[in-house]
Chain A
Amino acid sequence: MRKIAIVTAILAITVALTFGPMPLNSEAADVIKWGVLIDLSGPTSDWGKNQVKGQLDAMRWINEHGGINGKELQLIVIDDGYKVPRGVAGYNRLVDSEKVLGLYIQSTGTTMTLAKKIVSDGVATIAASFIGVFQDPAKYPFSFYMSPSYNDMARIALKWIRTTWQDNSRKPKICYLYPDNTYGRAILETSNDYAKKIGVEVGPDQVINWPTRDATVQLTNMSRYDPDYAYITSTAMNGAVILKNAKALGLKTKFISNIRNFEESLITLSGGAAEGTYGVHPIAPYGAPVPGMKKVVESHENWHPGEEGTNVYVEGWVNILCVAEALKNADKAGSLTPAGIRDAFEQFRNFDTGGLAPPLTFTNKDHRGSMAAKIYEIKDGKMVDVSGWIELPRDMEYFGK
Chain B
Amino acid sequence: MPAGLYHENYRTDERIFQTWFVRIWLMAFLLGCMVFPVFASKYMMSIMVDVGIAIIACHGLNLLTGFTGQISLGHAAFIGVGAYTSSILVGQVGVPFVVSLFCAGAMTALIGMIFGIPSLRLRGLYLAMATIAAQFIIEFTIRRWDKLTGGVEGMYVEPGRLGPFHFDDRLHLYYLTFILAVAATMVTKNIIRSRSGRAFVAIRDRYLAAEVIGVNLFKYRLMSFAVSSFFAGVAGALMAQNLEVITHESFTILQSIDYLAMCIIGGLGHILGGIFGVGFWFILERLLEVVTTSLNTAYPDHVTWFVSIREIVFGLVIILFLIFEPDGLAARWRTIRAYWKLWPFSY
Is B one of A's binding partners?
Answer: yes
Binding site for B on A (CB under 8 A): 13, 16-17, 20-24, 40-41, 49, 52-53, 56, 59-60, 74-79, 83-86, 88-90, 92-93, 96-97, 107-109, 112-117, 180-182, 184-185, 303
User: Given A41-B308, A76-B297, A96–B42 Cβ distance below 8 Å?
Assistant: yes
Q: How far is the CA of A256 from the CA of B42 in the complex (A)?
A: 46
Do residues A76 and B296 form an inter-chain contact, with CB atoms below 8 A?
yes
Binary per-residue interface labels of chain B (282-324) against chain A in the complex, 1 for a CB within 8 Å, 0 otherwise: 0001010111111011101101100110110000000000000
A-B contacts, 5 listed (Cβ < 8 Å)? A16-B291, A41-B310, A85-B255, A97-B41, A114-B245
User: Given A85-B50, A182-B154, A109–B250 Cβ distance below 8 Å?
Assistant: yes
Q: How far is the CA of A116 from the CA of B240 in the complex (A)?
A: 12
Q: How far is the CA of A117 from the CA of B294 in the complex (A)?
A: 25
Do residues A89 and B311 form an inter-chain contact, with CB atoms below 8 A?
no
Do residues A92 and B46 form an inter-chain contact, with CB atoms below 8 A?
yes
| Residues in B neighbouring A59, C-beta threshold 8 A | 300
Do residues A112 and B308 form an inter-chain contact, with CB atoms below 8 A?
no
Do residues B47 and A92 form an inter-chain contact, with CB atoms below 8 A?
yes
Do residues A78 and B289 form an inter-chain contact, with CB atoms below 8 A?
yes
Residue of A nearest to B302 (CB): A56
Q: How far is the CA of A116 from the CA of B41 in the complex (A)?
A: 21
Do residues B297 and A74 form an inter-chain contact, with CB atoms below 8 A?
yes
User: Given A13-B287, A20-B294, A303-B301, A96–B46 Cβ distance below 8 Å?
Assistant: yes
| Residues in B neighbouring A16, C-beta threshold 8 A | 287, 291
Known: A96-B41, A112-B154, A113-B249. 6 other contacts (CB 8 A): A20-B287, A52-B304, A60-B300, A75-B300, A84-B243, A113-B244
For residue B71, CB closer than 8 A to chain A, the reply is no
| Residues in A neighbouring B205, C-beta threshold 8 A | none
Q: Which 7 pairs between the two chains have the least Cβ-Cβ distance?
A: A109-B249, A96-B43, A97-B43, A96-B42, A40-B307, A182-B152, A92-B46
For residue B189, CB closer than 8 A to chain A, the reply is no
Do residues B297 and A23 form an inter-chain contact, with CB atoms below 8 A?
yes
Q: How far is the CA of A132 from the CA of B291 in the complex (A)?
A: 36
Q: Find B296's partner among A60, A77, A117 (CB 8 Å cutoff).
A: A77
Q: Find B153's partner among A56, A74, A79, A112 (CB 8 Å cutoff).
A: A112
Q: How far is the CA of A13 from the CA of B290 in the complex (A)?
A: 12
Residue of B nearest to A19 (CB): B294
Q: How far is the CA of A13 from the CA of B291 in the complex (A)?
A: 11
B41 to chain A, nearest CB (A): 7
User: Given A23-B298, A79-B307, A96-B43, A182–B247 Cβ distance below 8 Å?
Assistant: yes
Do residues A116 and B297 form an inter-chain contact, with CB atoms below 8 A?
no
User: Given A20-B294, A24-B293, A41-B308, A56–B303 Cβ distance below 8 Å?
Assistant: yes
Binding site for A on B (CB under 8 A): 41-43, 46-47, 50, 143, 151-154, 156, 243-250, 252, 254-255, 285, 287, 289-294, 296-298, 300-301, 303-304, 307-308, 310-311
| Residues in A neighbouring B303, C-beta threshold 8 A | 40, 49, 52-53, 56, 77
Q: Find B289's partner among A83, A93, A112, A113 (CB 8 Å cutoff).
A: A93
Do residues A84 and B293 form an inter-chain contact, with CB atoms below 8 A?
no
Residue among B247, B248, B293 with max Cβ neighbours from chain A (10 Å): B293
Residue of B nearest to A180 (CB): B143
Do residues B245 and A182 form an inter-chain contact, with CB atoms below 8 A?
no
Q: How far is the CA of A43 from the CA of B109 in the complex (A)?
A: 32
A197 to chain B, nearest CB (A): 24
| Residues in A neighbouring B153, C-beta threshold 8 A | 112, 182
B73 to chain A, nearest CB (A): 16
A59 to chain B, nearest CB (A): 7
B186 to chain A, nearest CB (A): 26
| Residues in B neighbouring A113, C-beta threshold 8 A | 154, 243-247, 249-250
B144 to chain A, nearest CB (A): 8
Do residues B289 and A56 form an inter-chain contact, with CB atoms below 8 A?
no
Q: How far is the CA of A213 from the CA of B215 in the complex (A)?
A: 46
| Residues in A neighbouring B43, C-beta threshold 8 A | 92-93, 96-97
Do residues B143 and A83 form an inter-chain contact, with CB atoms below 8 A?
no
Do residues B300 and A89 form an inter-chain contact, with CB atoms below 8 A?
no
| Residues in A neighbouring B300, C-beta threshold 8 A | 56, 59-60, 75, 77
User: Given A41-B307, A79-B310, A116–B290 Cβ distance below 8 Å?
Assistant: no
Q: How far is the CA of A116 from the CA of B246 in the complex (A)?
A: 11
| Residues in A neighbouring B285, C-beta threshold 8 A | 86, 89
| Residues in A neighbouring B255, C-beta threshold 8 A | 83, 85
B5 to chain A, nearest CB (A): 28
Residue of B nearest to A91 (CB): B46
| Residues in A neighbouring B297, C-beta threshold 8 A | 23-24, 74-77
Q: How far is the CA of A387 from the CA of B180 in the complex (A)?
A: 61
Do residues A40 and B304 form an inter-chain contact, with CB atoms below 8 A?
yes
Residue among B290, B301, B303, B308 with max Cβ neighbours from chain A (10 Å): B303
Q: Find A112's partner among B143, B247, B290, B310 (CB 8 Å cutoff).
A: B247
| Residues in A neighbouring B152, C-beta threshold 8 A | 180-182, 184-185
Q: How far is the CA of A79 from the CA of B308 in the complex (A)?
A: 10
Residue of A nearest to B157 (CB): A116
Q: How far is the CA of A115 from the CA of B243 in the complex (A)?
A: 10
A167 to chain B, nearest CB (A): 36
| Residues in B neighbouring A117, C-beta threshold 8 A | 244-245
| Residues in B neighbouring A185, C-beta threshold 8 A | 151-152
Do residues B245 and A56 form an inter-chain contact, with CB atoms below 8 A?
no
Do residues B250 and A84 form an inter-chain contact, with CB atoms below 8 A?
yes
Residue of A nearest to B304 (CB): A49
| Residues in B neighbouring A83, C-beta threshold 8 A | 252, 254-255
Residue of A nearest to B146 (CB): A185
Residue of A nearest to B254 (CB): A83
B206 to chain A, nearest CB (A): 35
Do residues B143 and A181 form an inter-chain contact, with CB atoms below 8 A?
yes
Do residues B47 and A21 form an inter-chain contact, with CB atoms below 8 A?
no
B57 to chain A, nearest CB (A): 11
A272 to chain B, nearest CB (A): 28
| Residues in A neighbouring B41, C-beta threshold 8 A | 96-97
Q: How far is the CA of A78 from the CA of B245 in the complex (A)?
A: 21
B152 to chain A, nearest CB (A): 4
Q: How far is the CA of A115 from the CA of B250 in the complex (A)?
A: 14
Do residues A20 and B290 form an inter-chain contact, with CB atoms below 8 A?
yes
| Residues in B neighbouring A76, C-beta threshold 8 A | 293, 296-297
| Residues in B neighbouring A97, C-beta threshold 8 A | 41-43
| Residues in B neighbouring A114, C-beta threshold 8 A | 245
Do residues A88 and B243 form an inter-chain contact, with CB atoms below 8 A?
yes
| Residues in A neighbouring B244, C-beta threshold 8 A | 113, 116-117
User: Given A20-B291, A77-B293, A89–B47 Cβ distance below 8 Å?
Assistant: yes
Q: How far is the CA of A17 from the CA of B290 in the complex (A)?
A: 8
B122 to chain A, nearest CB (A): 26
